[in-house]
Structure 1
Amino acid sequence: MVSQLRPTSFKVLSLTTISSPHHEKRLPKVYRILERMGLETAAFEQLTTEYMQNQFNPATPDVDGVRYFSYGALASPSLFSPFRASHRIIKRAEGDNDGLVSVRSASHGVYKGTLLGPSHLDIINWTNRLKWIFRRLIGQENKCG
């Protein structure tokens, strides 16, 4: 939004990303694993190093006058985590990660720190969505507003 829409009714002072893959190198292998598990990965395929370097980054350059900050995340997946395999692959290749994005890849602009504990599902709030779906399936209402 900052570089493409160039808002005119307000001035963007900063952009902070949280566990966003700015430089991920091993995601294609992770996608194949997720696809075998029956999960749709089409949207994630745009987050490969090749796509980010050759298409996304050139089309969305940093904007002068905007400060860029980032955070990464470090999680240890449980036995039944959907990111158990991807966490292992990324850890071997790039080090600490949240199950989908390495801490190194999450760094862009001024790196502010690493969140300890949340998985990528937690960060994008899928954990709560999955709980709500499960509750609906067993007939419980979501009482959150």
Structure 2
Amino acid sequence: MRRRLLLLAAFAVLPGAFQAAAGEAVLVPNRVIYPGETVAAEALKEVILAEGKVPPANVVIALAALEGKVAKRTLLPGRYVQANALREAYLVEKGVPVEMVFVSGGLSISATAVTLEPGAAGDMVKVRNIDSGKVVSGVVMADGTVRISG
């Protein structure tokens, strides 16, 4: 009890140390979103927080940070969406042919490969060269190609 009073006194002394987010709008799912499902704007609803209510720090509340992401676990209606419950959408899927590109200086070599694992832009994935059968690792680029570095 004494500890709680000390904490309240500290907040009273420091103006602006605790700001209530009264009227702040947050986005929450309006239906169940299952793992592997892409989050769409239609699956979200805006909720106005009550006075004194503040969302936790690891919660995603902006539409730009939610829409187009893929759920890693079940997202329940009316509940905050935690940042670690979402991932970027995969640009390359496992077992799908992609173009792999090796660039070194002015030299550029491209070949067709099959991905051995899925990946989003910036992810390191393993691919198998269709012609040689060799397995190499590369980075998934925004255009869906895999860049191999030497």
Q: Do they superpose with TM above 0.5?
A: no
Q: Pick the TM interval, shorter chain.
A: under 0.3
Q: TM-score, normalised by structure 1?
A: 0.24
Task: Give the number of the structure with larger relative contact order, counting CA–CA contacts within 8 Å between residues 6 or more apart.
Answer: 1
Q: Which has the higher strand share?
A: 2
- Indicate the structure with greater helix content: 1
